[in-house]
A and B are shown apart, each in its own frame.
Chain A
Amino acid sequence: EDQVTQSPEALRLQEGESSSLNCSYTVSGLRGLFWYRQDPGKGPEFLFTLYSAGEEKEKERLKATLTKKESFLHITAPKPEDSATYLCAVQGPGNTGKLIFGQGTTLQVKP
């Protein structure tokens, strides 16, 4: 069964304290791994797509990496405005476009 597990569930950081969020997945034939950011009361906002092991993508203080079993979202020198829930999702084989989401990691960055 296709599955996505994110860890930790919650993470508290001081401003400037770098860390990483983990997304482990089991899927038969990965077509893509997606990272989203969700602020309270809002819909998920797309961040990155990764397609193959070894691929990396960067945006401001965020960097996403992918291996054959997991993805990491590295946050370098975070700021309070980076506080949000980060969601990981995988797309399996077929042309449906369906995503399987993890439960998310809620990040709080304190000034």
Chain B
Amino acid sequence: NAGVTQTPKFQVLKTGQSMTLQCAQDMNHNSMYWYRQDPGMGLRLIYYSASEGTTDKGEVPNGYNVSRLNKREFSLRLESAAPSQTSVYFCASSDIGTEQYFGPGTRLTVT
């Protein structure tokens, strides 16, 4: 039982490049979330998927897109990376109204 897994662990991009962050959970949770964590800003919600087949914007969605591929997988795409997107990205999953379980994070640097 791996919980929530994320790939890659580290990534360096140049401004304008694109990439997809992958997330998978094996807890049969309905809901999945993408956060970014920046020093002094705490965890901020980018996008979430309350259930398979639905996605919604969170607090900071600009510059990102998401895909809920199936119940297990939720990906985050940066179409044209900017230095302001340098951050640590966390994926989480939960059942509605219960605690969220987080992955180990992806550390992204955009130069």
Residues of A participating in the B interface, judged by any CB pair closer than 8 Å: 31-32, 34, 36, 41-46, 49, 87, 89, 91, 95-99, 101-104
Contact across chains for A32 and B97 when beta carbons are under 8 A apart = yes
Q: Which residues of A contact B45 (CB under 8 A)?
A: 98-99
Interface size class of B (residues with CB under 8 A): 20 to 34
Interface residues of B in 94-108 (CB under 8 A from A): 94-105
Given A44-B43, A104-B42, are A97 and B56 neighbors across the interface (CB < 8 Å)? no
Cβ proximity bits B47-61 to A, threshold 8 Å, 1 near / 0 not: 010100000101000
- In Å, the complex CA distance between A36 and B102 comes to 10
Flag whether B90 is at the interface (Cβ < 8 A).
yes
- Which residue of chain A is the closest to B9 with respect to CB atoms? A41
- In Å, the complex CA distance between A87 and B41 comes to 12
Contact across chains for A43 and B43 when beta carbons are under 8 A apart = no
- In Å, the complex CA distance between A32 and B95 comes to 13
Contact across chains for A97 and B94 when beta carbons are under 8 A apart = yes
Flag whether B25 is at the interface (Cβ < 8 A).
no
Contact across chains for A95 and B90 when beta carbons are under 8 A apart = no
Q: Which residues of B contact A36 (CB under 8 A)?
A: 102
Contact across chains for A34 and B99 when beta carbons are under 8 A apart = yes
Q: Which residues of B contact A46 (CB under 8 A)?
A: 99-101
- In Å, the complex CA distance between A36 and B43 comes to 12
Partner of A97, one of B44, B48, B90, B104: B48
Contact across chains for B41 and A103 when beta carbons are under 8 A apart = yes
Flag whether B31 is at the interface (Cβ < 8 A).
yes
Interface residues of B in 1-49 (CB under 8 A from A): 4, 31, 33, 40-45, 48
Given A34-B99, A96-B50, A97-B97, are A87 and B105 neighbors across the interface (CB < 8 Å)? no
Q: Which residues of B contact A89 (CB under 8 A)?
A: 43
